[in-house]
Structure 1
């Protein structure tokens, strides 16, 4: 439990951006492609999804079990297709419970330890949909820490972090342009003196084109971004002496899919390349990873008519099979899968079952 509470409050600072997302009104029609149901690859007016995983041997379902990192889940959606409740379970029981007004509007998270509530995180919003506070508490309702945000209109101007004694310990101030983009960020040491300052630049479309970061008055690094339309093409970070420290280069097909992603890291003198091949529906068929010009890894995928993956095969540079998985699905009348049998290296391993209910 000590480690759970020790999670740095700074991680929560990443949850809020200068441009706040306005919460959806449940009475307003939502574009079906912007719903959480669509994002979760579900069809129809889904109300609940209960997913459970079991061992599967000789055609028979066995004990509750899943692959490493797997969670059984319960999901609940409102009538507009937005997520309202998510629960995750591991071998010890419930591990995590979240409430939402749509996945982008997180209300509350409860983390569990051996089935007992360990930490509760709550998000508060103003009438404009801006996140105004994020508070973490113990199960007994004692404050662990809290972040408060102040806004000018929809633009954030300040964040303050308070410890369990409600004493301010960190502060970040922001300057935003008229479009709501952050143009300057000041991170304080404590609440008195600026430790880190960042300056941001944007083009006419609101794309970030530059970031310059200082530690005190000393330049730490500069990052430049270039675009082709809305597509990010290059991201290059240079150190104080002007040398390239890190770089990313993107290449796209006519549909906007990334077909090549290259990186350079000076610290390790490594040039990496990822090449992707897609089918006509945008599904990835083939991924090839290379380092310094030598192929390291290749993964191939196939899909069924519902765009669910039915096979994964991964090989190394010599062609040795590292991973070989096949998936067989059973579907309901809405083309949502209700059973998935997982075969690993040619042997049945797991069966995952989903109980799905629908809104009228």
Structure 2
């Protein structure tokens, strides 16, 4: 990534290196270890109607806090070569609690993708992964991500259907492309989320050298843990981790994805879930409606824009990260980074 600079009130006159009509907007949350345990509860009580809030609102609350704190040029940076604008939390200039322990930090990052992986999107997903690693290592000032867990919206529990065959072929191609992350020491352990025993076994038969180091599974219902999966991971040195995330998708335009697989954001508070897809969006449609009206876009809108507001905002991925001190299990930093594409 090129050297960033302070963002002017508008794009500079010389924007030949990028197209200012299409910008990558990156929003950082504050270090949630500073915010306190009652952060989400207070957000729900005082800022929005809780009946419209998605059930997993920590990300939305954190990003809204960042945006609501106001404009400060020192916390808005522009990379003119890629048209990437980064908005950091005003509180981010505080000591993250990591500067004295950089060599002792272990960073775990979970990368939630917005779109379905298929053969045509492999190169785009590779770029998302490289961009995410760059964002997290620069933000936390570390050289390596200890665990990188990939979460795909088109993971199903079955391997006996055509859609999974297409996903698996694309996934193997993607793994082969990002294998260099290990040799370059950018990632120590590469993992996946919510792969079943059947999926891992099928992957082993097709590409045994590309088995992930980690499989993170949902343990909201402990009785549903597959013993065959536990045994397979143990036999193949795959670290089995737990999570309680009941979402893997984000969408600002519910009409674009296949409606049979994703439901409208307005239903985000519903308890109904598909047996094959984790459908609860990380960010609600109301969040994107409010974001479009933000004064931030008046700073970055191209001079050719009449309204100074974006036509559309499309999320690319969300990073959920935690940094702990090795051998002490002390969490030093926790937060989110959201990457979105804005079109003027």
TM bin (shorter chain): under 0.3
For CA contacts below 8 A with separation 6 or more, give which structure has more relative contact order: 2
Structure index of larger Rg: 1
Which structure has the highest helix share of the two?
2
Which structure has the highest strand share of the two?
1
TM-score (norm 2): 0.25
TM-score (norm 1): 0.24
